[in-house]
């Protein structure tokens, strides 16, 4: 799979460079979360970059810092995909995803992602390849005051995510709360556990 990923990326880079659109983001969070799991156990950072090749083709990568006692320094996600609009409100896409732990011996894995977007509603299904588990997530921005998401990962359990963001300080500030199935059952205990909450700032360029 790594060979296929390299061939696809080389082919995309052979396209007209002048037609490419580059964009990126850097962020700092009180905790880095990945699919409902706190992976930094404290202050963390992330870096994201993406290239739009035109005609729906794109490639990107995102890196998260990990906790000091994690098996690795960073979790790195590399992606190659294709998006298509079916109408003004409906869009679909597919992507190949390579997930790697840098600086450790933790297992790496690959996925094929399919997504459907209808206005402010987005559904993602990631099919794990080889022995990797599947993951799906539904996100909606249609609630009046907050954004809401629900996900379930074969390798990591189910979770809810409630968040709210604002554009400020030439970037984007976001506060959120994760309720993972491994959390305490009692609602009062969940609210008291500050590890379930996070605040972050992202600067896009």
Instruction: Determine the pLDDT at residue 182.
Output: 80
Closest CA to 47 of 36, 32, 63: 63
pLDDT band at 144 (very low <50, low <70, confident <90, very high): confident
Q: How far is CA 128 from CA 68, 112, 118, 153, in A?
A: 27, 7, 24, 10
pLDDT band at 7 (very low <50, low <70, confident <90, very high): low
> Structure pTM?
0.85
**Share of residues in the chain with pLDDT > 90 (%):** 74
pLDDT in tens, 27-38: 999 999 999 999
Closest CA to 93 of 110, 113, 111: 113
Of the listed ranges 15-24, 103-112, 188-197, the one predicted with least confidence: 188-197
Instruction: Determine the pLDDT at residue 17.
Output: 58
Mean pLDDT of the residues in the chain: 89
Q: How far is CA 83 from CA 56, 91, 177, in A?
A: 5, 7, 30
Question: What values do phi and psi take at 75, rounded to 5?
Answer: -105, 125
pLDDT band at 80 (very low <50, low <70, confident <90, very high): very high
pLDDT band at 184 (very low <50, low <70, confident <90, very high): low
Helix, strand, or coil here: 187? helix
**Share of residues in the chain with pLDDT > 70 (%):** 84
pLDDT band at 14 (very low <50, low <70, confident <90, very high): low
Burial 45-80 (b: 16+ CB within 10 A, else e): ebebebbbbeeebbbbebbbbbeeebebebbbbbbb
Comparing 129 with 189, the larger pLDDT belongs to 129
CB 141, CB 158: distance < 8 Å: no
pLDDT in tens, 85-124: 999 999 999 999 999 999 888 889 999 999 999 999 999 9
Count CA within 13 A, CB hemisphere, residue 82: 4
Instruction: Determine the pLDDT at residue 202.
Output: 98
Residue 71 in this model has a pLDDT that exceeds 90 = no
């Amino acid at each position: 799979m790594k060979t296929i990923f390299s061939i696809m990326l080389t082919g995309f880079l052979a396209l007209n460079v002048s037609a490419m659109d580059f964009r990126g983001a850097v962020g700092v969070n009180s905790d880095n979360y990945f699919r409902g799991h706190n992976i930094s156990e404290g202050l963390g950072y992330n870096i994201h970059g993406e290239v739009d090749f035109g005609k729906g083709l794109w490639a990107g990568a995102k890196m998260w810092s990990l906790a000091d006692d994690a098996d690795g320094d960073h979790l790195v996600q590399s992606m190659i995909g294709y998006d298509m609009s079916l109408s003004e409100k409906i869009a679909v896409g597919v992507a190949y995803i390579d997930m790697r732990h840098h600086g450790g011996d933790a297992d790496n894995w690959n996925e094929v992602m399919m997504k459907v977007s209808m206005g402010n509603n987005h559904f993602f299904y990631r099919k794990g390849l080889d022995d990797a588990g599947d993951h799906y997530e539904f996100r909606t921005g249609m609630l009046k005051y907050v954004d809401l998401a629900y996900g379930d990962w074969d390798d990591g359990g189910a979770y809810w995510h409630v968040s709210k963001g604002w554009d400020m300080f030439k970037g984007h500030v976001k506060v959120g709360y994760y309720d993972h199935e491994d959390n305490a059952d009692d609602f009062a205990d969940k609210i008291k556990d500050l590890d379930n909450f996070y605040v972050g700032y992202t600067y896009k360029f």
